[in-house]
Structures are given as C-alpha cells and as structure tokens.
C-alpha cells in the first residue's frame, strides 16, 4: 500500500460490507476448505448460481440492503428448513440480475482494495477508516454466531484474512481483543468494557435509522 493514498469513495462502503457478508454466508465446496482458509475468495467465482445463507433474518436483511450497491444485482430472501433429527431455519438470499462471476468479481475487488487500506494504514483517528472498521465487526456479529456471556464476547472465524481484518478493525475502534486457536478456526475474544465500546460504536456507525 502507498501511504497517504485516499480511502475508497464513501459510496463504496456498502460494497465492502456486502463483500464481508458474502464471504461469511457463501458455501465453500468440499476439497477447497483448506485453500479457502488462506484465500477466502478461492471458491466463490465457481458457483453457477449465487446463493448466500445466513442463520438469522437480520443478517439476510442487512445483506440484501447493502447489495443495492452492486450494479444490476437483485436479491430475494427465502426461508429454508434443514436438518434431520433437529430442524432449524435458515435464510437464503438468492442473487440474480447479474452473472455470479460479475457480482463476485465486483465484491472481491472492493474487499481487496478496502482491506488493503485498513491493514496498511498507520492512521487510527480517521472517520472513513473507523466506519469501515465498524462494518467489519457489524458483519461478523451478524454472521459468525457470537457468544456473549459475563466474561465477554466470543466468535469464531476460519478465514485467516478475516481474522487479521477483525483484529485491525478492533484496534481502529479502540477495542482490545485476543485470538486463540480453535478446531478448524480461530476464536476471537473481546472482554470487559471492550464489548460495550464495540457494540455502541457499531450501532452509531450503522446509520441514523438504527440510532
């Protein structure tokens, strides 16, 4: 990264958040899990049809909302019951109106650009950087099934690049977190007042409609 380079235009902020949520919700074909752990975009451009699945309706609604930034893309949300012994509901967002490879390419380019700025910038007190740092954590809290207890907040992430983004984003937001190895993933912990700081910052950064 060239230091001092401008942040991406503010109109691309939704594209970045959409890219984060796509990585979290799109399935990775078997046999590519290890590669995807190193490169989260490894398998996404191979899909004939782009479907993104979330565990909660708010996550699906947020993804649909930010996907308006992708030219020609249209999103449709449907409920799906899955499981054999234990049935549970998920929310699937089908993306059409544009070729899957075009959508993935657009979001991958935005992710690569903005992630580079976040990871490479020496600046901390920058409004645009903090807004995108908030987007990193907002998408993770919506999609990574975080666990909250009296000890703090914990979530798991399998993509190494996403872990680095979460750590840098927490630093930009003034929050300290720890990373611990877990089976097939890494566990990220936020303790004490860091949880309050994180949640309040994300809420303020999410727009006036949620204030």
What is the tens place of the pLDDT at every residue in 109-137? 999 999 998 998 776 667 888 889 999 99
State the pLDDT at residue 190: 94
Residue 211's CB is within 10 A of a number of other CB atoms, namely: 7
State the pLDDT at residue 4: 44
State the pLDDT at residue 208: 41
Region 59-74: mean pLDDT is 94
Structure tokens given for 165? 């983004």
Residue 124's CB is within 10 A of a number of other CB atoms, namely: 12
State the pLDDT at residue 138: 93
State the pLDDT at residue 46: 53
One CATH from 1.10.357.10, 3.40.1410.10, 3.30.70.330, 3.10.28.10 for 10-206: 3.10.28.10
Percent pLDDT > 90 in the chain is: 46
Contacts of 100 (CB under 8 A, 6+ apart): 45, 47, 48, 49, 50
Among 87-96, 125-134, 176-185, the range with the most confident prediction by mean pLDDT is: 87-96
Q: What is the mean pLDDT of the chain?
A: 82
State the pLDDT at residue 148: 86
Q: Does residue 30 have a pLDDT over 60?
A: no
Region 158-170: mean pLDDT is 90
Contacts of 39 (CB under 8 A, 6+ apart): 161
Q: Does residue 8 have a pLDDT over 80?
A: no
State the pLDDT at residue 211: 35
From the list 149, 205, 169, 161, the residue with the least C-alpha distance to 186 is 161
Q: Does residue 37 have a pLDDT over 80?
A: no
């Amino acid at each position: 990264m060239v230091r001092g380079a401008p942040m991406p235009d503010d109109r691309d902020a939704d594209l970045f958040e959409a890219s984060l949520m796509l990585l979290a919700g799109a399935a990775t074909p078997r046999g590519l899990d290890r590669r995807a752990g190193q490169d989260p975009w490894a398998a996404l451009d191979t899909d004939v049809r782009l479907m993104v699945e979330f565990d909660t309706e708010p996550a699906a609604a947020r993804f649909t909302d930010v996907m308006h930034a992708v030219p020609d893309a249209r999103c449709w949300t449907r409920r799906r019951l899955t499981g054999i012994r234990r049935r549970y509901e998920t929310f699937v967002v089908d993306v059409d109106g544009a070729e899957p490879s075009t959508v993935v390419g657009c979001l991958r380019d935005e992710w690569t650009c903005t992630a580079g700025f976040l990871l490479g910038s020496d600046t901390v007190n920058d409004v645009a950087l903090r807004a995108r740092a908030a987007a990193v954590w907002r998408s993770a809290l919506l999609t990574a099934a975080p666990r909250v207890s009296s000890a703090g907040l914990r979530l798991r992430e399998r993509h190494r690049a996403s872990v680095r983004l979460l750590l840098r984003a927490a630093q930009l937001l003034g929050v300290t977190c720890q990373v611990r190895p877990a089976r097939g993933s890494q566990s990220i912990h936020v303790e004490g007042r860091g949880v309050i700081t994180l949640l309040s910052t994300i809420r303020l950064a999410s727009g006036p409609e949620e204030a």
